[in-house]
Chains A and B, each alone.
Chain A
Amino acid sequence: MPSYPSKDDVEEEVKRYEETVRFFAVFERVLNEGGLHPQIEPTCHKPDGSICTPDFVVEEDDLKTVIDHKASLSKNENNTMDELDDVYNKYIPLVPAGHGQIAALFPKSEESAVQLTIHLLTNPLVLSSFLMMHDSKTLELHTLKGIYLSPNLARIMSDRFRYEFLEFAKYKLIRMKPPVPLAADIIWSYVLLPLYGASDQFDDGATIDYQDILTETSTQMRGYGTDSEESLRGVVNDALRFLDKIGWVEFRKQDEPVKVYARKGKGKGQVRTQFCEKWFELKANVSVTTRTEQKDNTRQTSLEQDNG
């Protein structure tokens, strides 16, 4: 697990993931409208048997382009080059020789840093930048190095596109694992509270079926229906474990019902900010057991003591 020097770093990581999901939602539409129907985060098998999930795979005629989206690049020049080299080396086994390309897509804010070291790059990686401007609702794409062999893609990757905020409501998660505070926020707001609201148990907390939580969370995932819920279990479990630790739910273990508390001050105010703060605090003292498990352990110990 990463460690965070400050709470702001947690918030920054959450924001980066959220902006990535928004970018996916808009870029997917742009590619579709451009006649390219991308595969997004597909599971790909390399010749050596290993598996990878590139962000976008675009096929036009017999040309295959793998595009890797980077939410940020390293601040260090040498590391930046290493990162870009890694992209190329990671995905080159997926591309048939002479019939495809690898591209890295990074934020426009990193463009000047990349420009400084671009001459050090020895592989034919295509480099493009993106800028999402929420004020003008515009996505700007710009290609710095290389030429896309796919004509439609070449046109798209040096153009501007309008988007609507509404597109951000399509989905909230992609296959890339979200930061725990963000997953907790999504699951709290779009899954637990609606399930809690639909039940009429209330007051002392409502008990929600684990499978319902898993199913409902999967509908917030891009590609719903194409992915099994299995792959989401880790995300859901981490989020529930975190919510348990801060006392918003009671979660014992996977597949067991979860008790949700939305009253007595729970869930009020800016939940995202609260989750980032709590997560930062917890990182200083990470424990593998949940609050509920701790309670059980305490109970078990006292029982053992009682018995002799």
Chain B
Amino acid sequence: MGMNRHQTRAFRLSNQQFESVSKLFSYCTDLYSQEKALPLSAFVIFPIGETTPERVAEAAKKRKLTFRIQKTGGNVYLVKVGVEKRMIRFQLIANKGWWLFLGDGRSRVLREVLLESFIGNHLSWALEPSYINSDQLASILEGLALSFAKVDIVGCRYYQPGVTKLEFRRKGFQIAYHAGLMKELENDTNGTLSAIRVQFVDSGSVQNRVRLLTQSQMTLYGGFFTDFYQSIILPYVEESQKTRKKLSNKERRIDRHRIVLNPTTIQCRDEFSKVQIEGLQRTLVAHYSASISYSNPVMIAHIADRGDGSCFDVYLEGKSIQVVPATRATSGSFAQLISLLARFSPQILEIRHETYETLVVGG
């Protein structure tokens, strides 16, 4: 609203202290409805086991990282997160079972520092990023369409196998949401959606402008914070908890003389091409401790996440990839792997979770 960059800084959420969640929410509601603020990014993170903000602070200190916490009231913390010289402030609401980090500023920087560097490289054994798939993303939009008078998709990002396609900045991209739209977009692009930008308007005149990613992050560019929280964040939490539950406790185990395996199969519409398989191999080698023993036209690999020690067998053939969690598999690492594989998959038709048991002993 005609404010210059310097004026905007004064309204930064990260400069404030709140005694309670309701005060934090009131502040956000005022701030974003007046469009004075920088974009607000919300990150949904799951604490693993008995992790508390205090324990994260202690662990960070040991590792020469920054996680400075100031409890301002109730379960609200003002947090300074840093890796080396990059420092970001967040408001943290430490709910039971899930944490919400709220930060303003450049969403890419917030993401890099919190998700990729701080958690991804150092604290993935204590904090787990949240994930939803493109169907769950569509389901959140479905909920929006039921609650709001008008919902428009104004941008999307999708992965064609091996290639990230950005459609956010394309001028004039605006489609009124209808059921099945997300599948149509995936069919048109032969890709898998990983983010959407959406505008939704209630019966009044307030226009909410939001970006929603499949991995952990939602950004509010303007509108009612309450709508953002109720219609985007909470449904996202619900969906990502479903993902987490689905991908938890899937390790290979030996149970009363039987080996129990819990494979997840990504079934695609088309066969993987040689180029796609090679691209996938390169990516696996870049992200994991990997051993790829057979390739083209099938790929047999085992990979291990150096961050949290999760390990998986990966089998690719024809139109499907199968992931079999091995000795250790956190739901966060498992979800991250599935999301990475999805990028290289020629349009996903179905993700199947199964259980396979076989006799171990034989002498």
Of A28, A166, A196, A222, the contact of B263 (CB 8 Å cutoff) = A166
Tell me if A219 and B304 are in contact (CB < 8 A). no
**How far, in Å, is A18 (CB) from chain B's closest CB?**
6
Q: Complex: how many Å from CA A39 to CA B359?
A: 13
Tell me if B362 and A219 are in contact (CB < 8 A). no
Tell me if A170 and B125 are in contact (CB < 8 A). no
Tell me if B293 and A18 are in contact (CB < 8 A). yes
**1/0 per residue A212-248: CB within 8 Å of B?**
0000100110111110000000000000000000000
**How far, in Å, is B307 (CB) from chain A's closest CB?**
8
Which residues does chain A contribute within 8 Å of B292, judged by CB atoms? 270, 272
Which residues does chain B contribute within 8 Å of A37, judged by CB atoms? 362
Tell me if A193 and B317 are in contact (CB < 8 A). no
**How far, in Å, is B321 (CB) from chain A's closest CB?**
10
**How far, in Å, is A106 (CB) from chain B's closest CB?**
21
Tell me if B363 and A223 are in contact (CB < 8 A). yes
Chain A residue nearest to B55 in the complex (CB): A200
- Does B300 interact with chain A (Cβ within 8 Å)? yes
Tell me if B327 and A271 are in contact (CB < 8 A). no
Question: Which of B30-38, B76-84, B134-142, B253-261 lies at the binding interface?
Answer: B253-261
Tell me if A193 and B300 are in contact (CB < 8 A). no
Of B326, B327, B328, B356, the contact of A166 (CB 8 Å cutoff) = B356
Which residues does chain B contribute within 8 Å of A194, judged by CB atoms? 304, 309-311, 326-328
- Does A107 interact with chain B (Cβ within 8 Å)? no
Interface residues on A, range: 35 or more
Tell me if A169 and B324 are in contact (CB < 8 A). yes
Which residues does chain A contribute within 8 Å of B290, judged by CB atoms? 269-271
Which residues does chain A contribute within 8 Å of B298, judged by CB atoms? 134-135, 165
- Known contacts A200-B59, A271-B291; A165 and B326 CB within 8 A of each other: no
Of B303, B309, B326, B359, the contact of A32 (CB 8 Å cutoff) = B359
Which residues does chain B contribute within 8 Å of A135, judged by CB atoms? 297-298, 317
Interface residues of B, dominant DSSP: mixed
Q: Which of A27-47 contact B (CB under 8 A)?
A: 28-29, 32, 37-40, 42
Chain A residue nearest to B363 in the complex (CB): A39
- Known contacts A134-B300, A194-B327; A226 and B306 CB within 8 A of each other: no
Q: Complex: how many Å from CA A48 to CA B270?
A: 61
**How far, in Å, is B329 (CB) from chain A's closest CB?**
9
Which residues does chain B contribute within 8 Å of A222, judged by CB atoms? 362
**How far, in Å, is A135 (CB) from chain B's closest CB?**
6
Chain A residue nearest to B307 in the complex (CB): A197
**How far, in Å, is A32 (CB) from chain B's closest CB?**
7
Tell me if A197 and B261 are in contact (CB < 8 A). no
Chain A residue nearest to B315 in the complex (CB): A165
- Does B360 interact with chain A (Cβ within 8 Å)? yes
- Does B285 interact with chain A (Cβ within 8 Å)? yes
- Does B343 interact with chain A (Cβ within 8 Å)? no
Chain B residue nearest to A202 in the complex (CB): B63
- Does A137 interact with chain B (Cβ within 8 Å)? yes
Other A-B contacts than A165-B298, A193-B311, 5 sampled, CB-CB below 8 A, are A18-B293, A39-B362, A222-B362, A224-B254, A267-B306
Instruction: List residues of B whose CB falls within 8 A of some A CB.
Output: 59, 62-63, 122, 125-126, 252, 254, 257, 259, 261, 263, 285-286, 289-294, 297-298, 300, 302-311, 313, 315, 317, 322, 324, 326-328, 330, 356, 358-363
Pairs A–B under 8 Å by Cβ, sample size 12:
A40-B363, A166-B356, A168-B313, A169-B324, A190-B302, A190-B326, A193-B328, A202-B63, A203-B122, A225-B361, A271-B290, A272-B293
Per CB-CB distance, the 6 closest pairs between chain A and chain B, nearest first, are A197-B309, A194-B328, A165-B315, A272-B291, A267-B289, A39-B363
